[in-house]
C-alpha cells in the first residue's frame, strides 16, 4: 500500500504510548489494521493513519504496545483507542483458550501472529464495509470504502473523511453510488440505508440479542446474508463466537480438516463447534494464514 501524500501531518499532537496487554509486531499490527477487518487505515511514514468511527489517529509499532498521536484540537481518543485495540487483553486470553494445543493446523496458523485480534469497530462501519465486500478482493473493498468516504462522508480531523451516514446514502443519487465502484452492491447499500436512516438506535436495539439471533436480524437487511451477518456480528458487535465462512475459510477447513464437499452452513457449524466461544478469533488467524500463502 503506497503512502498517501494527501494527508497533512503538521498539526498533530506529540506521540504517546498505549500499552497493550498482548504486544504486537509491526507485521501483526499491519495485519490487524489492514488485513480485511477494517478498510480505513493507510500506511504512513511511521506506521498507519486512519479513522475508527468519527475519530482519527496515527499508530506505529512500539515495544510494549503502540505509539499513537492524533490531530491537534480534536477530542482525546485514548480511551476509545484502548477499546478499539483491546488493550486490556481479553482476546489474548481467548486466543490462549483456543484448541491450538490439540490442533496442529490451528497452531500453525497462529504461529508468528501473537497479538492478532479483532478490532472493536462500530456496527455502522462494519455493516457498510461488509455490504461492499461480497465477491470482491480486500484491495477492491478498500477502494469502495474510500470512495464512499471521499464522495459522501463529512470531513474529519486531519484531512480524513468519515463514512457516510445511512441518511446520506439513502438520498444519494444512483450515479453517485455507481461512481463509488460498488457495482450491483449499490442497490443493496441504498436499500439497507433506507431501512436504517432515521434509526440511530438500530444497533443498540440488537446489541442484547444472542449471537445467532443477532445474525438472523442482520440478515433481514438487503445485501446481508449469512457471511456478511457473521462479519458484522464479529467485527461490529464484538461477538467472538461469530464465525464467517468466506472462500479463504472454506479452503482452510477443506485443507486442514478434510471437509471436502461441505457447504458453507455446515462449515460454519463445524467452526463454531470445533473452535468454541472464540471461533471468530480462530477464523481471523486462519484467514491471515491462508492469505499470506503457503508457509
Residues that bind DNA (CB under 7 A): 35-37, 130, 133-141, 178, 181, 183-184, 187-188, 219, 221-229, 231, 244-249, 263, 265, 283-284, 287, 291
Residues in Cβ contact with 56 at an 8 Å cutoff, skipping those fewer than 6 apart: 49, 50, 70, 71, 74, 77, 156, 157, 158, 160
Q: Which is nearer to DNA, 62 or 141 (CB)?
A: 141
* CB nearer DNA, residue 56 or residue 253: 253
Q: Quick one: 70 or 133, whose CB is closer to DNA?
A: 133
- The distance of closest approach from Cβ of residue 14 to DNA in the complex, given in angstroms and rounded to an integer, is 33
Sign of CA dihedral 244, 249, 41, 142: negative
Q: Is 233 helix (H, G, I), strand (E, B) or coil?
A: helix
Closest approach of DNA to the CB of residue 295, in Å: 18
Q: What is the DSSP letter of 46?
A: S
Find the shortest distance in angstroms from Cβ 49 to DNA: 20
Query: Closest separation between CB of residue 210 and DNA, Å?
Result: 19
Query: Which of residues 25 and 134 has its CB atom nearest to DNA in the complex?
Result: 134
HSE (side-chain half, CA atoms, 13 Å) at 94: 24
Q: Nearest CA to 24 among 78, 67, 81?
A: 67
Half-sphere exposure of 90 toward its Cβ, with a 13 Å CA cutoff?
13
Catalytic residue list: 227
Amino acid at each position: 500500500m503506497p503512502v498517501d501524500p494527501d494527508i497533512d501531518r503538521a498539526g498533530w499532537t506529540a506521540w504517546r504510548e498505549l500499552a497493550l496487554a498482548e504486544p504486537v509486531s509491526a507485521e501483526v499490527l499491519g495485519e490487524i489494521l489492514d488485513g480485511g477487518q477494517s478498510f480505513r487505515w493507510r500506511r504512513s511514514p511511521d506506521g498507519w493513519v486512519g479513522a475508527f468511527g468519527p475519530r482519527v489517529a496515527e499508530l506505529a509499532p512500539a515495544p510494549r504496545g503502540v505509539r499513537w498521536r492524533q490531530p491537534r484540537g480534536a477530542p482525546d481518543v485514548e480511551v476509545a483507542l484502548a477499546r478499539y485495540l483491546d488493550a486490556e487483553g481479553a482476546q489474548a486470553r481467548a486466543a490462549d483458550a483456543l484448541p491450538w494445543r490439540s490442533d496442529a493446523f490451528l497452531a500453525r496458523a497462529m504461529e508468528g501472529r501473537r497479538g492478532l485480534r479483532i478490532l472493536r469497530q462500530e456496527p455502522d462501519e462494519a455493516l457498510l464495509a461488509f455490504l461492499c465486500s461480497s465477491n470482491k478482493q480486500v484491495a477492491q473493498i478498500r477502494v469502495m470504502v474510500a470512495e464512499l468516504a471521499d464522495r459522501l462522508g463529512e470531513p474529519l480531523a486531519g484531512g480524513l473523511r468519515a463514512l457516510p451516514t445511512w441518511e446520506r446514502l439513502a438520498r444519494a443519487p444512483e450515479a453517485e453510488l455507481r461512481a463509488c465502484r460498488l457495482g450491483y452492491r449499490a442497490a443493496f447499500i441504498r436499500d439497507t440505508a433506507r431501512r436504517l436512516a432515521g434509526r440511530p438506535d438500530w444497533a443498540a436495539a440488537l446489541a442484547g440479542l444472542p449471537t445467532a439471533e443477532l445474525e438472523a436480524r442482520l440478515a433481514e437487511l438487503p445485501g446481508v446474508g449469512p457471511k456478511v451477518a457473521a462479519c458484522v456480528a464479529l467485527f461490529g458487535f464484538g461477538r467472538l463466537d461469530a464465525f464467517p465462512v468466506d472462500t479463504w475459510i472454506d479452503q482452510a477447513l477443506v485443507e486442514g480438516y478434510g471437509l471436502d464437499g461441505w457447504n458453507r452452513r455446515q462449515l460454519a457449524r463445524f467452526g463454531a463447534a470445533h473452535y468454541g466461544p472464540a471461533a471468530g478469533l480462530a477464523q481471523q488467524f486462519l484467514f491471515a494464514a491462508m492469505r499470506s500463502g503457503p508457509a
